[in-house]
Amino acid sequence: MTLIFVVIAILVIAGAAMAITGRFVPSVGIENTGDYTLESVGFDVTLRGYRMDEVDQKIAELEGKITELEASRQR
Protein backbone atom coordinates (compact mmCIF):
# COMPACT_ATOMS: atom_id res chain seq x y z
CA MET A 1 0.00 0.00 0.00
CA THR A 2 2.86 2.36 0.80
CA LEU A 3 4.35 1.67 -2.62
CA ILE A 4 1.17 2.94 -4.30
CA PHE A 5 1.32 6.20 -2.34
CA VAL A 6 5.01 6.64 -3.20
CA VAL A 7 4.31 6.11 -6.92
CA ILE A 8 1.38 8.56 -6.84
CA ALA A 9 3.51 11.13 -4.99
CA ILE A 10 6.28 10.79 -7.58
CA LEU A 11 3.81 11.23 -10.43
CA VAL A 12 2.28 14.32 -8.82
CA ILE A 13 5.71 15.87 -8.19
CA ALA A 14 6.85 15.07 -11.73
CA GLY A 15 3.67 16.57 -13.18
CA ALA A 16 4.06 19.72 -11.11
CA ALA A 17 7.69 20.06 -12.16
CA MET A 18 6.76 19.66 -15.82
CA ALA A 19 4.00 22.27 -15.50
CA ILE A 20 6.30 24.74 -13.75
CA THR A 21 9.10 24.39 -16.28
CA GLY A 22 6.71 24.70 -19.21
CA ARG A 23 7.34 21.26 -20.64
CA PHE A 24 3.75 20.35 -20.07
CA VAL A 25 1.33 23.06 -21.10
CA PRO A 26 -2.26 21.99 -21.62
CA SER A 27 -3.87 23.24 -24.80
CA VAL A 28 -6.72 25.67 -24.18
CA GLY A 29 -7.80 26.00 -27.79
CA ILE A 30 -6.67 29.61 -28.19
CA GLU A 31 -4.13 30.23 -30.90
CA ASN A 32 -1.68 33.10 -31.04
CA THR A 33 -2.49 35.13 -34.14
CA GLY A 34 -0.05 37.95 -33.38
CA ASP A 35 3.33 38.55 -34.92
CA TYR A 36 5.14 38.22 -31.62
CA THR A 37 5.96 34.90 -30.09
CA LEU A 38 8.13 34.18 -27.09
CA GLU A 39 10.96 33.22 -29.42
CA SER A 40 10.74 36.42 -31.49
CA VAL A 41 10.57 38.73 -28.46
CA GLY A 42 13.33 36.89 -26.64
CA PHE A 43 12.78 37.71 -22.97
CA ASP A 44 15.10 36.01 -20.52
CA VAL A 45 13.18 33.80 -18.12
CA THR A 46 13.88 34.24 -14.42
CA LEU A 47 12.61 32.48 -11.33
CA ARG A 48 9.45 34.58 -11.12
CA GLY A 49 8.81 35.24 -14.79
CA TYR A 50 10.55 37.58 -17.20
CA ARG A 51 13.13 40.28 -16.52
CA MET A 52 11.16 43.47 -15.99
CA ASP A 53 13.78 45.73 -17.56
CA GLU A 54 13.52 43.75 -20.81
CA VAL A 55 9.72 43.89 -20.70
CA ASP A 56 9.77 47.65 -20.05
CA GLN A 57 12.21 48.14 -22.92
CA LYS A 58 9.98 46.14 -25.31
CA ILE A 59 6.89 48.09 -24.22
CA ALA A 60 8.70 51.39 -24.83
CA GLU A 61 9.79 50.15 -28.26
CA LEU A 62 6.24 49.13 -29.19
CA GLU A 63 4.82 52.43 -27.91
CA GLY A 64 7.31 54.23 -30.16
CA LYS A 65 6.17 52.18 -33.15
CA ILE A 66 2.52 52.92 -32.36
CA THR A 67 3.24 56.65 -32.13
CA GLU A 68 5.13 56.53 -35.42
CA LEU A 69 2.28 54.69 -37.16
CA GLU A 70 -0.32 57.09 -35.78
CA ALA A 71 1.75 60.07 -36.97
CA SER A 72 2.15 58.60 -40.46
CA ARG A 73 -1.58 57.88 -40.64
CA GLN A 74 -2.49 61.53 -39.89
CA ARG A 75 -0.34 62.91 -42.71
CB 54 within 8 A of CB 44: yes
The residues pairing with 45 across neighbouring beta strands, listed in sequence order, are 50
Q: What is the pLDDT of residue 51?
A: 81
What type of residue is 56? D
**Which of the two residues, 36 and 53, has the higher pLDDT score?**
53
What is the C-alpha to C-alpha distance for residues 25 and 18, in angstroms, rounded to an integer?
A: 8
pTM value is: 0.42
Confidence of residue 7 (pLDDT cuts 50, 70, 90): very high
Q: How many CA atoms lie within 13 A of 35 on its CB side?
A: 1
Radius of gyration of the chain measured on its C-alpha atoms: 21
CB 70 within 8 A of CB 63: no
**Which of the two residues, 6 and 75, has the higher pLDDT score?**
6
Q: Is the pLDDT of residue 41 over 90?
A: no
